[in-house]
Amino acid sequence: MSALIVVCAAIAAGIGTLAAHVAAIDLAGAVARGHAVGRVVEPGPGRQVSITENSGMVTATVTVPAPFGAATARAFYPVEYPRGTR
């Protein structure tokens, strides 16, 4: 019986880790898009965000805590310059 509880707990933690990875992917895309258009996106507590801009491309790297380690995702988005500036 205790083995069944351990297996169920491991399955639940695995699902939580997958959910954290999906959240990291979504947040990385939102942060990259937001930075590209000039908006600030607040990532929330416990999340680490790194933003770089190079040759007109924004790269956002986000790390989200998960039950099994941390989930990291990266997103790229082109910078949108205001009309008439480029």
pLDDT above 90 coverage of the chain, percent: 73
Q: Who's near 13: CB < 8 A, 6+ residues apart?
A: 67, 68
Query: Which structural domain range is residue 56 located in?
Result: 2-78
Q: Is residue 21 part of a domain?
A: yes
d(CA 65, CA 70): 4
pLDDT computed for residue 41 by the predictor: 86
Q: Is residue 84 part of a domain?
A: no
Q: Is residue 47 part of a domain?
A: yes
What spatial distance separates the first Cα and last Cα of the chain, rounded to whole Å? 67
d(CA 28, CA 50): 9
pLDDT above 70 coverage of the chain, percent: 94
Q: Is residue 15 part of a domain?
A: yes
At 52-84, the pLDDT tens digits run 999 889 999 999 999 999 999 999 999 987 766
Total domains present in the chain: 1
Q: Is residue 38 part of a domain?
A: yes
